[in-house]
Amino acid sequence: MDQTAGQDVRGALPAELGRAIRRTAADIAAVLDGVRDTGAAVPGSRWTVGEAAAHLALANELMADLAEGRERPYGDGTPQSLAAANADSLAVFRERRAAPLAAMITAQAERCAVALAAAADGPAPVTPLGPMDRPVLASYLLTHMLGHGYDLARALRRPHMIDAERAGLCVPFLLAVMPAVADGSATAGLTARYTIRLRGGDAFGVAVADGAVQVAPEPCDRPDCTILIDPAAFLLIALGRRGPWPAMARGQVLAWGRRPWLAPGFPALFVAP
């Protein structure tokens, strides 16, 4: 049996992640296609379309450098430091035209995917959110592109690219960073066990005990609250692009268990990465 079946060349990057990265970069380029004025505001952001696209291009380049084994310090993982690093990078990089930025987004996504597929061994890259193995770094790249791609699509009133398959591929990254992005003020004094089930996809467990958060890639035993959620809604809520109540009103979220009332407050336990 071919041991490389289901993987990109040389095996470090699952094939479905490589495809999703390339598709998402192409979809973002399609969103930017023909846009002449990139000065429109991005909803819920201080950035313009041009600034958001420039950030994506720079972030994809950063991820590609990390995948190739280069060291690229970029903040210390806190939201404040990452915001400062973003501002500094945008101040130096002045390109704001849609076509060159779309080309850079796709080229750097391809470069990152190739590097991740080629490098099965070696130390874990040190990302802005800490060390990550290569499949998790790929999931990080995909998550980041989907979040900002969604923003660009909303700003330009074009279809976004978040779907159930791609949202499910973001789970490895989100599980990896959940403990680091937990809001200590929100988790303080709380003891609860959650099972999160993506409709038609994976399930994982989150345990909170007096401020500490532990995440497992399988459901909790005897959870206090089980949350069944549409994958796209899960990703949008996790990235702070949507609140839980509109998703619940649309039937995209269901909860049950001994303490089902914990469900609406679950997203507030974390600061969106």
pLDDT digits (tens, 9 = 90+) for 160-202: 999 999 999 999 999 999 999 999 999 999 999 999 999 998 9
Do residues 226 and 181 share a domain?
Answer: yes
For residue 73, pLDDT beyond 50: yes
Q: Which of 70, 96, 218 is nearest to 152 (CA)?
A: 96
Q: Which of 138, 131, 91 is nearest to 114 (CA)?
A: 138
Instruction: State the pLDDT confidence band at 75, using cuts at 50, 70 and 90.
Output: confident
Can you read off the two tokens belonging to residue 95? 């390109």
Torsional class of 251: left (φ above 0), alpha (ψ -120 to 50), beta (otherwise) = left
116-136: average pLDDT:
86
**Is residue 112 within a helix (H) or strand (E), and if so which, with residue range?**
helix 98-118
Torsional class of 154: left (φ above 0), alpha (ψ -120 to 50), beta (otherwise) = alpha
Q: Tell how far CA 192 is from the center of its chain.
A: 25
Write down the pLDDT at residue 79.
83
Residue 237 domain flag:
yes
Residue 184 domain flag:
yes
Residue 8 domain flag:
no
Do residues 184 and 221 share a domain?
Answer: yes
Residue 2 domain flag:
no
Write down the pLDDT at residue 5.
38
Residue 4 domain flag:
no
Lowest pLDDT segment from 115-119, 173-177, 264-268: 115-119
Can you read off the two tokens belonging to residue 25? 């970069």
Do residues 149 and 183 share a domain?
Answer: no
Q: Tell how far CA 158 is from the center of its chain.
A: 20
High-pLDDT (> 70) share of the chain, %: 94
Range of the domain at 140: 15-161
Lowest pLDDT segment from 67-81, 90-104, 255-269: 67-81
Write down the pLDDT at residue 211.
84
First to last CA, the chain: 40
Write down the pLDDT at residue 266.
97
Do residues 35 and 128 share a domain?
Answer: yes
Give the strand pairing for 191-198 and 225-229.
parallel
Structural domain count, the chain? 2
Q: 202 in helix, strand or coil?
A: coil
Do residues 142 and 204 share a domain?
Answer: no
Write down the pLDDT at residue 1.
36
Cα separation, 180 vs 39, whole angstroms:
34
Please, which residues have CB within 8 angstroms of residue 41's CB and are 6 or more apart in sequence?
Answer: 47, 48, 49, 155
Torsional class of 34: left (φ above 0), alpha (ψ -120 to 50), beta (otherwise) = left
75-95: average pLDDT:
92
Can you read off the two tokens belonging to residue 253? 């979220």
197-215: average pLDDT:
94
Residues recorded for the chain:
273
Do residues 77 and 202 share a domain?
Answer: no
- Mean pLDDT, the chain, as a whole number? 92
pLDDT digits (tens, 9 = 90+) for 7-18: 333 346 889 999
Do residues 73 and 156 share a domain?
Answer: yes
If you ran DSSP here, which 8-state letter would residue 220 be given?
A: P
Can you read off the two tokens belonging to residue 53? 């696209």
The DSSP bridge partners found for residue 24 are: none
pLDDT digits (tens, 9 = 90+) for 25-67: 999 999 999 999 999 999 999 999 999 999 999 999 999 999 9
Residue 75 domain flag:
yes
Q: 182 in helix, strand or coil?
A: strand
Write down the pLDDT at residue 120.
64
